[in-house]
């Protein structure tokens, strides 16, 4: 299905609205395997919308443009199908699911992936063994998986739990939606190390952030600036440093001057 030259993700002219409000106004964006992309931008620029649409969040309407994932039309797929094909969204605000036991939820997720690949369900024992390994990666209290999903978790625990899910699902395309927000410096380091260890030449990471801080830990290959629903500038890691130093107003003025 995928030739060597096909990008992992190819977005062309993507326009998205929610409640009749246009949020994305023509986004072009390409991700190849082995790459780490950072999408930066001020609040309300459309960063979360972009990754949510890629994961299939229902309340958005795509009004124009295409999204191809491994050469396939991603937008025509149900969210669960996207997940099974390797698209993973780490939520900015992971939900609390009282009464849904984390262990059962994670097992169901793994079973869904394996069934999609035509593999048998994992035995409970094998799953436990795998879970123990993955739990170490994000330095999470192993007892958390016995509880309800995210219920009563601290902000940092919720974010770590997202990375735990990512570690278990081993996605090809990881979309991290402001995973750094609300984390103290230790949690940020742990979460970043987890993401880095999951990186390999066959997958890719897109991280959305407001601040440059997380990029000290997860080094991006490409940095993009999203402003008012458009990617207005792309560059290397130095762009993030420049943004941090000069602020988003600088880029807004630069765009307006050139436009």
Partner 1 sequence: MTQTATKISNYEADYQAIREQRAASNPAWLTQLGDQAWTRFTELGFPTARRGNERWKYTNVAPIANASFGLSSDLVAGSDHESELRRAAPWDDEWINLVFLDGRFSKVLSNLNASDSGNGRILVNNLAEAINSGAANLEQLLAKHVKFQEDGFAALNTAFLGDGAFVQVPDGSVLQSPVNLIYLTSTSNQPTVCYPRTLVAVGKGAQATVIESYVGIKSGALNPEYFTNAVTEISLAEGAILDHYRVVSEAKQAFHVGTSRISQGHDSVFSSASFAIGATLARNDFEVLLDGPGASCNLNGLYLTADAQHMDNLISIDHAQPHTSSQLNYKGILDGKSRAVFGGQVLVRKDAQKVSAHQSDKNLLLSSQAEVDSKPSLLIYADDVQCGHGATAGHVDKDSLFYLRSRGLDADTASRMLVHAFAREVIETVKVEPLKQFLDELFLEAIPETGLKLGGAA
Residue from 8, 9, 102, 113 that binds partner 1 (CB under 8 A)?
113
Rule CB under 8 A: say whether 79 interacts with partner 1.
Answer: yes
Q: How far is the CB of 95 from partner 1 (least distance, A)?
A: 5
Q: How far is residue 181's CA from residue 149's CA, in Å, rounded to a whole number? A: 20
Which part of the chain contacts partner 1 (CB under 8 A), choosing from 11-19, 51-59, 65-73, 122-130? Answer: 51-59
Is 104 an interacting residue with respect to partner 1 (CB under 8 A)?
A: yes
From 64, 108, 124, 202, residue interacting with partner 1 (rule: CB under 8 A): 108
Q: Tell how many helices (H) and how many strands (E) occur in the chain.
A: 8, 12
168 CB contacts (<8 Å, ≥6 apart)?
106, 109, 110, 130, 131, 134
Q: Is 47 a binder of partner 1 (CB under 8 A)? A: no
Q: 10 Å Cβ neighbour count for 202?
A: 11
**Neighbour order of strands in the sheet with 72-73:** 21-31, 9-18, 61-69, 72-73
- Residue 78 or 216: the one with the smaller Cβ distance to partner 1 is 78
- Residue number, 64 or 95, with CB nearest to partner 1: 95
Partnered with residue 67 across adjacent β-strands are 11
What is the rounded distance in angstroms from the CA atom of residue 109 to the CA atom of residue 66? 28
198-237 mask for partner 1 (x: CB under 8 A)? ----------------------------------------
* In the complex, least distance from residue 19 CB atom to partner 1, rounded to whole angstroms: 13
Choosing from 84, 160, 172, 222, the residue that interacts with partner 1 (CB under 8 A) is 84
The answer to whether the CB of 113 falls within 8 A of the CB of 169 is yes
Q: How many CB atoms lie within 10 A of CB 1?
A: 6
Tokens of 120: 């048998």
What residues make contact with partner 1 under the rule CB under 8 A? Answer: 55-59, 78-80, 82-84, 88-89, 91, 94-95, 97-100, 104-105, 108-109, 112-113, 116, 148, 165, 169
């Amino acid at each position: 299905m995928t030739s060597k030259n096909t990008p992992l993700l190819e977005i062309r002219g993507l326009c998205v609205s929610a409640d009749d409000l246009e949020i994305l106004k023509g986004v072009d964006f390409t991700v190849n395997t082995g790459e780490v992309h950072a999408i930066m931008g001020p609040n309300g620029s459309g960063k979360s919308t972009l990754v949510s649409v890629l994961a299939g969040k229902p309340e958005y309407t795509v009004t124009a443009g295409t999204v191809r994932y491994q050469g396939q039309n991603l937008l025509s797929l149900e969210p669960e199908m996207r997940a099974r094909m390797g698209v993973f969204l780490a939520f900015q605000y992971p939900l609390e699911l009282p009464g849904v036991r984390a262990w059962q939820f994670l097992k169901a997720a793994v079973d869904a992936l394996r069934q999609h690949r035509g593999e048998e369900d994992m035995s409970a024992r094998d799953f436990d063994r795998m879970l123990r390994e993955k739990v170490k990666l994000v330095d999470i209290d192993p007892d958390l998986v016995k509880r309800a999903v995210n219920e009563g978790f601290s902000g940092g625990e919720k974010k770590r739990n997202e990375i735990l899910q990512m570690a278990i699902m081993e996605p090809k395309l990881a979309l991290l939606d402001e995973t750094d927000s609300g984390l103290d410096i230790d949690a940020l380091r742990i979460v970043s190390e987890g993401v880095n260890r999951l990186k390999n030449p066959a997958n890719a990471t897109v991280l959305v952030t407001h601040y440059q801080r997380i990029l000290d830990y997860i080094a991006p290959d490409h940095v993009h600036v999203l402003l008012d629903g458009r990617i207005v500038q792309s560059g290397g890691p130095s762009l993030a440093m420049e943004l941090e130093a000069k602020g988003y107003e600088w880029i807004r003025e630069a765009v307006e001057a050139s436009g």
